[in-house]
Structure 1
């Protein structure tokens, strides 16, 4: 069984998006290097530094399923049926969409029973691989429920001032020393274990 890992690009002051779901310069690091990364679905390739490319490939290769909330699903229109990293997606929602369908949309699974059920379903899909959690409300709920094993942050040198926090309104938690520190261009990739008890 793999780990459950919260992940996102984050500003220095802890935000993953503005309140209107725009991201400002948070994704600038996705296109400031010389190594091309080809994505799945409709998004064009992006270009990162060799260090970021190695980190990205290792991260993507480890993921067996992704858990997102309904808000991110709606903002992206479910990535038109194919997530950019090509992994199955579990969407935590109060109500599944009635008329959403794209080729590949069979890789999207809608769970209405809460964060524990969503992570459980993602683990079933992922098998021995890791489960990624979108930062924000979903990651906060999972952290509060004791479901998060690791936190992965792509720390970007911008201050957003306000917006949506990495862990939403989650309560306090303690993380261990970083297990990965990788310097890219205008990004620092960090991984932390979540301490239990």
Structure 2
């Protein structure tokens, strides 16, 4: 099986979104360069610096599946049935959004109601040897608590938000140690970092 990696843009004070799920200045780096990076979403094109473009392309190419929470699914309306990285998506939820499923019968989305571990297991089956990406926030926290997370990827943005939704939040376990960064790439208004989880 491939690695399990959480990933998100994060403020210096540890937030990945405001309380209303808007992102403030966290995604400015997606549109501050000259390198065009297309996505699977019509009309969604990134303009990145060469360093950030290389990093993002590598991340997208490594993915075999994503595990996301119901909040992100609802905020994005399921990306209209196709994630920008064009990979299968496993959604952790308490209830299956039947109207959405009926409206998107061919979407490569699976809804799992048995919890994060079950969702991750399904995603690993789908991904094979490729990486399973998990969204920061509640999903990443639960994976970390269960010992299921291999790496933590952070696109660190030089902004202090003061409040919002944290990358991990309150852990239900003792402190978890990470290794020194295995990746440290300086972009424009962002630093891309990857840490291995120590077990």
Change in Cα spacing, 1:139 to 1:43, as seen in structure 2 (3 Å) is: farther
What's the counterpart of residue 133 of structure 2?
A: 132
Stretches of structure 2 that go unaligned for 5 or more consecutive residues are none
- 1:43 CA drift (Å): 4.3
Contact in 1 for aligned 2:82/2:107 (Cα 8 Å): no
- Distance in 2 of aligned mates of 1:103 and 1:57: 27
> 1:175 maps to what in 2?
178
Native 8 Å contact 2:5 2:150 kept in 1: yes
Match of 2:72 in 1: 72
**What CA deviation, in whole Å up to 9, does each residue of 1:160-192 have, x standing for no partner?**
000100013224211001100000000000000
Distance 2:54 2:197 in 1: 24
Look up the match of 1:153. Answer: 154
Distance in 2 separating the partners of 1:106 and 1:39: 16
Which residue of 2 is the match for residue 113 of structure 1? 114
Match of 2:145 in 1: 144
1:3 alignment partner in structure 2? 3
User: 2: CA distance between counterparts of 1:9 and 1:143?
Assistant: 18
Tell me the residue number matched to 1:184: 187
Q: Residue 49 of structure 1 corresponds to which residue in structure 2?
A: 49
Q: Deviations over 1:122-174 (max 9, x none)?
A: 00010010000000000001100000000000000000000100013224211
User: TM-score under structure 2 normalisation?
Assistant: 0.96
Conservation of the 8 A alpha-carbon contact between 1:43 and 1:84: no
CA deviation string 1:62-104 (max 9, x = no partner): 0000000001000100000010111100000001101004557
Q: C-alpha distance in 1, partners of 2:43/2:130? A: 24
Gaps of 5+ in 1: none
Structure 2 residue aligned with 1:90: 90
Task: Give the Å deviation of 1:44.
Answer: 1.8
CA RMSD of aligned residues (A): 1.1
**3-state DSSP of counterpart to 2:98:** coil
